[in-house]
Structures are given as C-alpha cells and as structure tokens.
Amino acid sequence: MSSKVASMRDAVADLVRDGDTVAIEGFTHLISFAAGHEIIRQRKRDLTLARMTPDLIYDQMVAGGVARKLIFSWLGNPGVGGLNAIRRVTEGPGASLEMEEYSHFGMVARYTAGAMNLPFFPLRSYFETDLPKVNPLIRPIDSPYGDGTVYAVPPLRPDVTVIHAQRADAEGNTQVWGLLGCQKEAAFAADRVIVVVEELVEGSIIRADPNRTIVPGIVVDAVVVEPFGAHPSYVQGYYDRDNRFYRDWDPISRDAALTDGWLAEWVHGLSGRAEYVAKLGEERVTSLRPSAPAPSGVVDYGEYR
Amino acid sequence: MSSKVASMRDAVADLVRDGDTVAIEGFTHLISFAAGHEIIRQRKRDLTLARMTPDLIYDQMVAGGVARKLIFSWLGNPGVGGLNAIRRVTEGPGASLEMEEYSHFGMVARYTAGAMNLPFFPLRSYFETDLPKVNPLIRPIDSPYGDGTVYAVPPLRPDVTVIHAQRADAEGNTQVWGLLGCQKEAAFAADRVIVVVEELVEGSIIRADPNRTIVPGIVVDAVVVEPFGAHPSYVQGYYDRDNRFYRDWDPISRDAALTDGWLAEWVHGLSGRAEYVAKLGEERVTSLRPSAPAPSGVVDYGEYR
Amino acid sequence: MSEQRMPAPAGPASASASGSAGGFSRTEMMIVAAARALAGQRVCFVGVGLPNIAVNLAKRTVSPDLELVYEAGVFGAEPARLPLSIGDPTIVTGATAVTSMLELFGYYLQRGLIDVGFLGAAQIDRFGNINTTVIGDYAHPKTRLPGSGGACEIAINARQVFVIMRQSARSFVERIDFRTSPGNLGGAENAARIRREQGWLGSGPSVVVTDLGVYHFDASGEMRLDSLHPGASLDEVRATMGWDPRIADDLATTPAPTADELRLIREELDPDGMYTK
Amino acid sequence: MSEQRMPAPAGPASASASGSAGGFSRTEMMIVAAARALAGQRVCFVGVGLPNIAVNLAKRTVSPDLELVYEAGVFGAEPARLPLSIGDPTIVTGATAVTSMLELFGYYLQRGLIDVGFLGAAQIDRFGNINTTVIGDYAHPKTRLPGSGGACEIAINARQVFVIMRQSARSFVERIDFRTSPGNLGGAENAARIRREQGWLGSGPSVVVTDLGVYHFDASGEMRLDSLHPGASLDEVRATMGWDPRIADDLATTPAPTADELRLIREELDPDGMYTK
C-alpha cells in the first residue's frame, strides 16, 4: 500500500476545487488553520464552507474571499464575541454570503447521515422553533409507529473534509484523543479527505491500539504532516488553545483593512505553516506547551496465536 | 458518590424481575455468562431475552426455563452449528418460544434508537426481503427529501442490560477495549444496567484515559466484580475464547436430559462464578491466558492549568 | 463593558450575606446567584459564556458532586482552570468520559440524562422562549447572533433549563425576533401538552438569573421575580423588561456574595476578568 | 461430514495446477477457488464459516493487501490464527481499527466502503437470492437456520457479493423458502432498477463458489457455470440443482489446489479440520 503523505500545498491544490463544499472540522480542538490558510493562499473560489462552529478560521477564509456560502450551527468567537468578517457580509441589506443554518445536533446528524449513506437523519430538535421556517431542508417526518412527529435533516456530503489529528500512519490510518467533535462523521461523509497530523507514525503504533483509530486510511486521500498546524486552536497533549490569539483577532477583524493586512502578513506573505510557526516565535510556541504530562496508562490487548 | 459494587446474587435479585426484557449483550466478546447463570439459578421467569446473537448463554437460559420470547438477529453457535435447546422449542408444530427477528444492523439500530430516545431508526436493509413480512415492526418510511423509501426499526429499551467489561470504578464508569459490539448502545437504551468486570479500579485509572470510557456511571445501577465471568466467551487481554467449550456444548445441547444435567451440575449445583472457576480448574483457566502481552502504548493528554 | 462596583448593601441583604467582604459587581452577583441555583443538581450541561463560570463556581461551592457535561463531548469534566471557550484541553484531562458529539447529543442529552441545561440568551420573552439567532429580520438582520449551537436541543431535552443573562429592554422583550429555543411557548398548558405529545423529556425553563434578580416560572408558565439582588430596585426591573413583570408576593432579597464566592471568581476562575469585566 | 479425498486429477487440470501435491478434498477445492476469486480485491467483509477460511487463505496467497472487515467491528484485521468464530481476540490484536457495530454497519458497510461481501447460504436460487432463515414455513419451520446476521445488509450494501456453499438439490433450489438477502431478485433488469431507485451502492451477487464449480451471473442476472472443479461432472452439477443450469460455452476446469494452498489450509489455517472435515 502506497504512502499518501503530501505537502499541504499539493494536497490542497489536488483535492480542493473551486465551487467545492469544504468541511474543515474539529470542535474547538484540532481545527486545521494550516489547511484554511493554504486554501486562502491558493485563492480558491466559490467554496461552500461547512462547519458546526465557523470559528476564526472561516472568518479568515471569508475575509480571504474564498467562500460563497456557509453551512453552520454556531457562529462566534467563543467567550470573546462575534465573527466580524462574516458579520460584515451577512448583516444589513447588503448581505452577500449565503447562509444555511442548523443546530449543533442537526449538523452532527447531517454528517452522520452522510457517513451512513442515509437519505435523512431524525432528531427531536426544532419543534416549535423558527429554524424550519428559515431552512426548508429541516423537515418534519412522522414516526411509522404512530407515536408522533420528529424533524429530519438531509445528509451532508462534503466534497472535501479536512481534519487535524495527533497522529496517522502513511496510509492515513488516524488516531485522535481528547475531543472528537464530529470529525469521524465528517470524514466518512466526504468524497475526499485530507488528514493533517502533528506526527507521522509507523503503522505498528496505530495497530498497537486499534480502538484509538477514528478514521481508516481507506477513506483518506492525503496525509499532511504539519506540526502546530492547528494553532491558534489546540491539540490535546501537544499544545494549548492560544486564547490570546482569539482575543487579539476581535479588534483586527472589526476593521476590514486591518483584516486584509493580517492576511497579507500571516497568510499570503508566508509560504506555509513552517514559516508561520517561525514567525510566531519560539517563546509563544513554548508558552503553549502543557505544564506537565498526563499519561493515559497502558492497556493490554494480548497476543492470541 | 456512593459505591455501586454488589454481588452478582444481589444485583440479579434486585434488578432483574420476572417478565422483564433483558439484554445480555456482547458480540462474541464480553458475554456475561456469569449473569446468565445467576438468572437461571434464581429461576427468573417469562423473560424476553434480547441479544444480537443468542449464543450459548441464551441456549442455556432457554433450557433453564427463564425465557418467554427471543429478540435477535443471528441464532447459532458460530463455526459449530445450531443452538439446540432453542431449536427444540422453535421448530415444528409445537414451537413454544416467541421469536422477534431482525438483521444485525436492525438490532444495532433498535438499541441506538433506544439510546437516543428516537421513535425509530432508519436503515437501508430489508427491501425486497421477507423479513418485514414476518416482523410487522420493520416498517417502510419515505424520505422527506423525495429520494425514496427506506425501512425503520423501533427503539429497543431493555428493562435491564447486562454488559461485561475489562474494568470499571465503583461508580460504574466503565472501560472496554477490543470488540465493542453494541454494548454502549444497549446500556444507554436500558432502564437498569448491570456492569460485570474483570477488575474494579480507582476512578483515577478511568480518568487518566477518558476516551476509553464507553459507559458512564450515571447509567449504571450495579457493578459486579466477577473475574472470568465471561467464560466461555472471552475478554481481550485477559483470556481467550474457549472454543472447546463451544464445541462440547453441541452434543450436550442436542439431548434434553444431558442439557438438564449440565445445568444441574454447572449452574444450580454451584453458588456462583467463583465455584464455577474453581470447578473449571487451574489448568483450563491457565490455558486460556494470552500467549504474550500486546501493550497499547501510552498517549499523553497533558496537564492544562 | 466594565461595571461599577457597588458597596456591600446595608439592611437585610447584608445580614444574610455573612462573610460578604467589600463590594461586588452586578455581574458577580448574577454569577453567584446562578451558581447557587445548582444546589442539589446532579448533571449539568454547560453553555458557553456566563453559564460556564456559574457552573464552575457551583462545582467549587454548593454542588461539588455536579457532573459537568460539555457539548464538545465531555462527561464529568474536572477543569483545573476556567476555560475561555467551552472546548478546551482542560475539560478533557481528568474527565470521566469523552465521546463523539453524536453520542453526547444523542445518548446523553436527547436520552434525558441531563438534569439542567444552562443557557445564555440574547432575547427572552415572558414564557422563557429564547432567541440567540438574529436581531431584526432573518434574511437581512440588524445583528447576526451566534445561532442555536446546542441551545435548541438543550431547551427541548434537558430535564430543566436555567438561563443566565443581563436584563435590558432590548433583551427582555414582549416578542422575540426569532425563536431559537422553545420555552413555555405560549403558556404552560400549551407547552405541557406539546412536550407530552412530542415525547420530550424536558419540562422547559425553570430559573432565570439576571443582574437584577432571580425568576422562576409560575403555574401559567410565565416568569415571576422571586428574589431581587441587593442594590437592585423594582423600578430598575420594570425599566428593563418589555412587559409588566409578575412579582412574587413574598419577594426575597438575594443574599450577597460571600467572601469565598468572590475570592473564587476573582482569584481562581476569572483572574483576567474575561467574564466579569 | 468427512469427505473422500480424491487423487490429483489427470489431464488439463493437473497440468495447470503446478505444484499440486497428492489428493485434495472437494471442500479444499471450494475454499481454494473462493480464495482465488478475491485476487485484486481491496476490502472484504468476512462472513462466518467457509467465507472465513477462504478470505484468510486469500490474504495469505493471491491478495496479501486485502483488508479484512469483520462485522464484529474490525477493519484491517491481521489474525495470527484462523478464528472458529468471526468474533475472536485474534482479529483485534494488531488490527488497524476497531469500532462499534453501529459504525461498522453504518460508516463502513452502508456507506459503500466494502468491495466484496463474502457470504455462506443454506438455500440459493438461480438469481442469487439467499435464504439463511428457515427451511419450511416461517412460523413452524422444519429447520430453524441462524437468520440474517449481517447478510441482509451485506447483500444490499457491499459493492459485490461472493457466495461460498456446498451444492445439493436441497440448497440450489428453484424457489427459496425465505428471502433473507436479496440477490438479482427476479432478474438483472428488475434488480438493477430497484438498486438504482433505492440508492443501493451494491451491484448484487457476483461469484458463487461450490464444491463442484465456480459460477458468475450472466446479463439476465442468472447464475452460469463458468468453471468445473477437477473430478466434478456436469451430471453431478445437474443432479444437485433445482433448475436446469446455464453452462458457459467455454466452460473451464478449475486449476487444482497448489501444494502451498493445501499446506496453508492443512497446517496453518485449519489444523484441526474444523472447516474442512
């Protein structure tokens, strides 16, 4: 089986196409800012961006001009405020960005229906809310057992899903610990999958703990090794969430010119993530390392011959 | 938080009631024969027994007279043959055991609907098969997106689910590695849950690797510590499947008198699992240990203060 | 958004607030009152923002056995610090269980295992219906808010819903601009019928804690002021609500924050004042 | 159930079976032919019984990169021994991924990631429709068989279905007693339409390997004998089928098992003869 290891530049160039529906998933944890920046850098256009929480990465991508539409369930900078670049193109009469909105469970259910090749997924949300009125894809469905009505959401099948993970082998067998979000569902739902990892490991490391594998190589098209590729998001056991960055983004993103300047300096002005990390500086990087290790312990699978 | 640790005798006496729907789950792995034997020993009656694969444990329980009905998806002794005690009460004009039959995915979907409090779960199985004709609970449902019909199964909500696991803490926070089957879904779907473990561990062991937890104590009513409680089924890393037992059961179970004799000797004649293990003998037990350890490796969650 | 600190109040409030030391802000009072409302609760779903600090304070005071559930997929979190976001590595390390969000929303929340869902809101009406989606018209909003996140499903499936929010004429409104999360709908009778018919496991909104007081819901399903915070007046309450509020006959005064509560907020949970300034 | 061993055949079969040593049983021939059919396949869903040994033989011979998927929740199994059951600790240790059965059936099988589903059967008809549920009437069966297990969903969702079973007048029948797993239904045209309309990702049955020969499906969706095993005759084939079988114009003779294939079966995979005796 051949290696799928690729550079971020090649993976994005080969696998992300103008007009695609792209999901860079990861719920606060493991958000691939490195992939988002590369998509901006390569000036992809007319993308439909799907994410439960668009977060700063989609604020930057919308500011970078790659997006036509957002599919989401919570639009904000958690604990800080709004996503200001997105607000500029969604508020008032000049709103230009198309929006398709769900709740968190609705988005998870959409990915799950995609991952399971189901025509819909049922859930108890939405009844007596205004969400189905503004999103005609949220539809009522009667239980075939005569016990009432629930709502359904349709499958979400991204053209490309990007997930970040602690580690994978060269075939793309991928392991994650800490928050899992809906990364597994988003990956299985997609046509093409890019996995970005902190560390490339031997297959034997993966196979020593098969219960830890969340995505098998069979659904993965490219493995990109990009340490610190999730910053300012975080990677459990590797680095902390850079809350300072999340706070600093607020005043930058409130001003279109400052935002453009930031993109020029930190995205277009850099060749990739390695330069980004160098520019961030040793001190900042070091300050985000965990204060101490917290080892999982070992379990024994046993040899059975 | 108080300890839920109980003896098998007390757990079964308190939590399993005549007429209950009982699911002893575990797909080949982690089947709680100890709980099944205690239910026979306490002469529970009129149980509806749910399991994907009834396996020897339900053959024994049916022979022991505890069952009124089976809910299942595959009825056999894998690689050996049929379940003969069950065949005696399901074949021919004198069939007395009620049967409700699904496919594997249908059973998993039923537990999942129960675990998610959904009125139904959709799946692509059953179309153009005879299963919906003989099980009216398998019903067609139209996609609300106009793209065809799938089938639905109703939630399965056992009164009691019993799962076996490698380890839990005294509150019932339970960890499993190796085959997971549908134990998580069966536990979350149930009203009452008994967890049987090889080892009782401190909460700190559980919390060192939270991604390994499959069932939280909040849904668990009793924790029973019963080493070797899954024999002749197996526990990954602890002991092997006793294939000899599975083969030996075939001739025993073909003869009603031999079957009764076996139950008298190995169930009614013993006070519990400790005596069963002693009677099995040191040599048999030792022969089932893994030939060598196969450690998972350690991952680091990191301290974040 | 910095708030004026007020001196510890004189009179009954001060008497009951034993150990209250020096002044406290209205935001601090709100957080403390919300935390206290969690006494006796077992499993709490923690929302982003003010609920996050209130629930973490409760776990350190009135409810040490509280199981914190984060929608990110954590059950039994033991955060060593107060996270800025509700997804943070500190809620994972040392937690009891980490699951996919499918399982968290399906097997925990929709299954009915959450005793209290703790939400913030941008707009609320007298029946506890909540808007966190838009101010103004949906297609061309005046203000685009975050949207539901998990709020819609928490409102439907958590056994009880607690709300924490500052009150103002713009937030406590006669008619919310968008119903993101159902409360008591048009009244208790209607809400109870729909919850029963739909098989919802939740019983809807239970407590609303603001910077001025604590509300519960009366038999008609409408919000009723049961406790006024020290330093707040009924005139202030009326001036910051879009309807004429129901007020309990035996209106209480909220006991002021204790020294320990204030120390936990200021020194341990929010030393940078992200939540309280 | 022990079978008579036959001498290595003379003639063309023998010529092509280079390395074939001594005799082999019809069951061994069937397992070997089934394993060879997996050449070039990537992801195989392994059924209980004969499929289990055939797939494990393929991985050791024609298809070393084959990813073995077990419905118990294993992707990329590397079993160190041949398990008696399809759930066994040896399929877990060293595997690529272990998942819940919900995910295995939902995210892998129903999602269309399985190239070949390998099934056994008690009854099959000319269109590859399969019965593993009952012989006789469902309510009062003459013989109660295991039922679907995962077979129904494998038949619907795997890209192709391979079947391995001994043939007899009782198993190759004009009309199966119960349709557990759909094949080409009443014919290829009908089956293709239903598969398209229903959004099924599978294209149905592809290969049937018996103790007498190897069948594929022709344009009408009916089974056609393409290769006869050495030592088997067309008379035997006809005597063990409930319909008049279609036979390829260029009917081949199956190359006999090689010495290596026989050694793997006898010494490594099935030393106790659980599958072959």
* Residue pair A204/A235 in contact by the 8 Å Cβ criterion: no
DSSP string, A47-86: EEEE-SS-HHHHHHHHHTT-EEEEEES--SBTTTB--HHH
Per-residue model confidence (pLDDT) at position D197: 87
Encoded amino acid at D185, one letter = L
Chain B contact for C271 (CB, 8 A cutoff): no
Domain ranges of chain C: 26-269
Q: Give me the residue from A124, A290, A297 closest to B208, CB to CB.
A: A297
CB contact under 8 A, C113 and B218: yes
Average pLDDT score over residue span C117-121: 94
> How far is residue B154 CA from its own chain's centroid?
20
Q: Give me the residue from C86, C149, C200 closest to A73, CB to CB.
A: C149
For residue B252, pLDDT over 80 is answered with yes
- Residue range B113-146, pLDDT digits in tens: 999 999 999 999 999 999 999 999 999 999 999 9
DSSP string, B147-167: S-EEEEE-----SEEEEEEEE
Q: Which residue has the tokens 């580690």?
A: A167
C-alpha distance from residue B7 to each of A16, B194, B224, B279, C174 (Å): 58, 11, 6, 20, 58
Report the share of chain C in percent with pLDDT over 90. Answer: 81
C-alpha distance from residue C13 to each of A84, C20, C210, C229, C231 (Å): 42, 10, 17, 8, 9
The mean pLDDT of chain C is: 91
- A68 by Cβ neighbours in 10 Å (0-12 / 13-18 / 19+) ranks as middle
Token pair for D2: 């022990």
| Band of pLDDT at residue C85, cut at 50, 70 and 90 | confident
- Residue range B64-113, pLDDT digits in tens: 999 999 999 999 999 899 999 999 999 877 789 999 999 999 999 999 99
Per-residue model confidence (pLDDT) at position C49: 84
CB contact under 8 A, B291 and A300: no
For residue A8, pLDDT over 60 is answered with yes
Per-residue model confidence (pLDDT) at position C274: 84
Q: Which residue has the tokens 């935002």?
A: A259
Report the share of chain A in percent with pLDDT over 70. Answer: 100
- Please give the Cα distance from A127 to A107 (Å, whole number): 16
- Please give the Cα distance from A8 to C55 (Å, whole number): 41
3-class state of residue D126 by DSSP: coil
Per-residue model confidence (pLDDT) at position D122: 96
* Residue pair C276/C24 in contact by the 8 Å Cβ criterion: no
CB contact under 8 A, D201 and A210: no
For residue C198, pLDDT over 90 is answered with no
Strands, E assignment, B44-159: 47-50, 67-72, 98-101, 121-123, 139-142, 149-153
* Residue pair B19/B46 in contact by the 8 Å Cβ criterion: yes
For residue B13, pLDDT over 60 is answered with yes
Encoded amino acid at A20, one letter = D
Please enumerate in sequence order all residues whose Cβ is within 8 A of that of A136, keeping only pairs 6 or more positions apart, or say none. Answer: none
3-class state of residue A184 by DSSP: helix
Chain B contact for A92 (CB, 8 A cutoff): no
Chain B contact for D273 (CB, 8 A cutoff): no
Encoded amino acid at C230, one letter = P
C-alpha distance from residue C159 to each of A209, C33, C226, D185 (Å): 38, 20, 21, 49
- Please give the Cα distance from A111 to C105 (Å, whole number): 14
- Please give the Cα distance from C119 to A86 (Å, whole number): 24
Q: Catalytic one among D71, D153, D222, D261?
A: D71
Per-residue model confidence (pLDDT) at position C53: 94
* Residue pair C213/C227 in contact by the 8 Å Cβ criterion: yes
Chain C contact for B117 (CB, 8 A cutoff): yes
Assembly ipTM: 0.95
Average pLDDT score over residue span A65-87: 95
Which residues on C lie below 8 Å from B302 (Cβ)? 89, 93
Per-residue model confidence (pLDDT) at position C199: 85
Q: Largest Cα–Cα distance of chain A, in whole Å? A: 70
Side-chain half-sphere exposure of C144, counting CA atoms within 13 A: 23
Subunits in contact with chain C (3 or more CB pairs closer than 8 Å) = A, B
Per-residue model confidence (pLDDT) at position B110: 98
Q: Shortest Cα distance from B209 to chain A (angstroms)?
A: 5
Chain D contact for B155 (CB, 8 A cutoff): no
Neighbours of C34 (CB within 10 A): 26
Which residues on A lie below 8 Å from D43 (Cβ)? 218
Average pLDDT score over residue span B249-261: 98
Neighbours of B286 (CB within 10 A): 9
Encoded amino acid at D228, one letter = L
Per-residue model confidence (pLDDT) at position B1: 56
- Of the candidates B196, B145, B212, B269, the one whose C-alpha atom is nearest the C-alpha of residue B31 is B196
Q: Shortest Cα distance from A160 to chain D (angstroms)?
A: 16
Q: Shortest Cα distance from D46 to chain B (angstroms)?
A: 13
Per-residue model confidence (pLDDT) at position D86: 84
Region for D32 from its dihedrals, namely left if φ exceeds 0, alpha if ψ lies in -120 to 50, beta otherwise: alpha
Q: Which residue has the tokens 């444990």?
A: B57
C-alpha distance from residue B72 to each of B51, B87, C66, C105, D239 (Å): 5, 14, 38, 27, 36
- Please give the Cα distance from B143 to B141 (Å, whole number): 7
- Please give the Cα distance from A52 to A105 (Å, whole number): 9
Please enumerate in sequence order all residues whose Cβ is within 8 A of that of B294, keeping only pairs 6 or more positions apart, or say none. Answer: A208, A300, A301, A302, A303, B237, D93, D94
Subunits in contact with chain D (3 or more CB pairs closer than 8 Å) = A, B
- Please give the Cα distance from A281 to B274 (Å, whole number): 62
* Residue pair C231/C10 in contact by the 8 Å Cβ criterion: no
What element of type H or E holds B104?
Answer: helix B104-115
Token pair for A173: 């067998």
Per-residue model confidence (pLDDT) at position C11: 38
Q: Give me the residue from D85, D105, D181 closest to B28, CB to CB.
A: D85
- Of the candidates D88, D110, C42, the one whose C-alpha atom is nearest the C-alpha of residue B178 is D88
Chain D contact for B182 (CB, 8 A cutoff): yes
Query: Any catalytic annotation for residue C78?
Result: no
C-alpha distance from residue D139 to each of A111, D124, D178 (Å): 40, 21, 12
Q: Catalytic one among C71, C153, C222, C261?
A: C71
Q: pTM of the prediction?
A: 0.96
CB contact under 8 A, C180 and A129: yes
3-class state of residue A35 by DSSP: helix
Please enumerate in sequence order all residues whose Cβ is within 8 A of that of B91, keeping only pairs 6 or more positions apart, or say none. Answer: D140, D141, D142, D143, D144
For residue B209, pLDDT over 60 is answered with yes
Chain C contact for B134 (CB, 8 A cutoff): no
DSSP string, C64-87: TTPEEEETTTEES---SS--SSSS
> How far is residue A28 CA from its own chain's centroid?
9
CB contact under 8 A, D144 and B105: no
In this structure, is the dihedral angle defined by the CA atoms of residues B106, B109, B114 and B115, taken in order, positive or negative?
positive
CB contact under 8 A, B208 and A296: yes
Per-residue model confidence (pLDDT) at position A153: 98
What's the topology of domain D26-269?
A: Glutaconate Coenzyme A-transferase (3.40.1080)
CB contact under 8 A, C72 and A103: no
Token pair for C174: 């006669």
Burial B152-170 (b: 16+ CB within 10 A, else e): bbbbbbbbbbbbbbbbbbb
Encoded amino acid at C67, one letter = E
CB contact under 8 A, A147 and B119: yes
C-alpha distance from residue C46 to each of A296, C58, C69, C77 (Å): 25, 12, 6, 10
Which residues of chain D fall below pLDDT 50?
Answer: 1-21
Chain D contact for B79 (CB, 8 A cutoff): yes
Which residues on D lie below 8 Å from A118 (Cβ)? 106, 110
Per-residue model confidence (pLDDT) at position D22: 63
Q: Can you name the residues that pair with A150 across neighbouring β-strands? A: A141
CB contact under 8 A, A304 and D80: yes
Subunits in contact with chain A (3 or more CB pairs closer than 8 Å) = B, C, D
* Residue pair C253/C246 in contact by the 8 Å Cβ criterion: no
- Residues 212-251, chain A, touching B (beta carbon < 8 A): 212, 236-238, 240
- Residue range C38-76, pLDDT digits in tens: 999 999 999 888 999 999 999 999 999 999 999 999 999
For residue C8, pLDDT over 50 is answered with no
What is the pairing mode between strands D223-228 and D246-253? parallel
Per-residue model confidence (pLDDT) at position B92: 75
For residue B182, pLDDT over 70 is answered with yes
Angle between helices A256-263 and A55-63 (to 10 degrees): 100
- Residue range B51-69, pLDDT digits in tens: 999 999 999 999 999 999 9
Average pLDDT score over residue span B195-221: 98
Which residues on C lie below 8 Å from B211 (Cβ)? 98
Which residues on C lie below 8 Å from A101 (Cβ)? 133, 147-148
CB contact under 8 A, A178 and C98: yes
Residues, chain C = 277
Per-residue model confidence (pLDDT) at position A1: 56
Residue pairs between chains A and D whose CB atoms are closer than 8 Å: 75
For residue C12, pLDDT over 60 is answered with no
The mean pLDDT of chain B is: 97
